[in-house]
């Protein structure tokens, strides 16, 4: 199977398995908040997906690695709010919650797939 994005875009593992995904494009603060929201959801329920869309255990170590990767991705993409993303990631790693303002941003970037039957 091809390697897919786990959380971003309509072809991501999350879109296929969960019916929701993070809007694609460059990493910004709102998208980082959306990713963090889904990371926390995965940690709470105990599983996530790998790049082949196979279900794997979501450990605290994987949660931390995926969260910190958002900052790296922002910097690689030349984002302008990478320092803010880093502060948000640090906040989430310490408190395991999103501040209300970040939750509001996240909700704007999480897309729900509607299925018509």
Write out pLDDT tens, residues 35-83: 999 999 999 999 999 999 999 999 999 999 999 999 999 999 998 899 9
Count of domains in the chain?
Answer: 1
Mean pLDDT computed over 98-103: 97
Whether residue 18 is predicted with pLDDT greater than 70 in this model: the reply is: yes
Q: Which residues contact 28 (CB under 8 A, 6 or more apart)?
A: 74, 79, 81, 85
Using DSSP's 3-state secondary structure scheme, residue 31 falls into helix
Whether residue 96 is predicted with pLDDT greater than 70 in this model: the reply is: yes
The answer to whether residue 20 is domain-embedded is yes
Q: Which residues contact 116 (CB under 8 A, 6 or more apart)?
A: none
Instruction: Supply the mean pLDDT for the chain.
Output: 94
Task: Name the pTM for this structure.
Answer: 0.93
Tell me the C-alpha distance between 60 and 1, whole Å: 27
> Does residue 58 contact residue 66 with C-beta atoms inside 8 Å?
no
The pLDDT assigned to 17 comes to: 94
The answer to whether residue 4 is domain-embedded is no
The answer to whether residue 27 is domain-embedded is yes
């Amino acid at each position: 199977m091809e390697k897919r994005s786990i959380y971003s875009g309509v072809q991501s593992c999350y879109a296929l398995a969960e019916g929701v995904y993070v809007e694609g494009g460059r990493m910004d603060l709102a998208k980082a908040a959306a990713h963090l929201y889904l990371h926390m959801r995965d940690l709470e329920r105990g599983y996530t997906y790998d790049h082949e869309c196979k279900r794997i255990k979501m450990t605290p170590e994987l949660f931390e690695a995926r969260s910190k990767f958002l900052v790296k991705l922002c910097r690689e993409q030349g984002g302008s709010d990478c320092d803010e993303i880093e502060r948000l990631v640090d906040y989430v790693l310490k408190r395991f919650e999103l501040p209300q303002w970040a939750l509001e941003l996240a909700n704007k970037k999480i897309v729900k797939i509607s299925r018509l039957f």
